[in-house]
Structure 1
């Protein structure tokens, strides 16, 4: 069974591609996230503020694209990104552009 995941492409006001992600990212649907990220090139902002769960399969997809990602996260996901080391490879900020609060 595939876990519900919604991927909504768009653009920031400055024209940078943005991918809004909501739901849970796990091994049942990480391929959809990979396909969405593979479809573009260059920098992309991935808004994870509506993501309730992120497992190692989802992290693997984000690591594979780390060289071009900027992540928007809530404090819920910040520890996962920090412990995994992904926060050291990508720009991570809270909604509105500030640093995520611990």
Structure 2
């Protein structure tokens, strides 16, 4: 069974590409998340890419692996739910994390 996940990539107000994820990211949809992330990184050539996780309510190791794979090319926006996970996993040391 696939867990509900919505992914949207669009330019933000300052022209920076924002990939917004909403729902849960787990092993059932991590491949789709990784593909969207790779596509957004490719589309953001020469620009920053912000991955907005403020509406993600669950993120497992498969989702973290997708983020780690692109850590040097992304910035993260997150809320209080995922912030501790990003710290403990070490991802916050590899990329910029903005608290929403």
TM-score (norm 1): 0.89
Structure 1: any 5+ residue segments left out of the alignment?
96-102
Match of 2:75 in 1: 70
**Regions of 4+ moved over 4 Å:** none
CA RMSD of aligned residues (A): 0.9
Deviations 1:43-77 (A, max 9, x none): 31010000000000000000000011110001110
Determine which structure has the larger helix proportion and give its number: 2
Structure 2: any 5+ residue segments left out of the alignment?
none
How many correspondences in the alignment? 95
Secondary structure at 2:32 match in 1: helix
Greater RCO, 1 or 2 (C-alpha within 8 Å, sep 6+): 2
Match of 1:53 in 2: 58
Match of 2:14 in 1: 14
TM-score (norm 2): 0.90
Paired residue for 2:88, among 68, 83, 96?
83
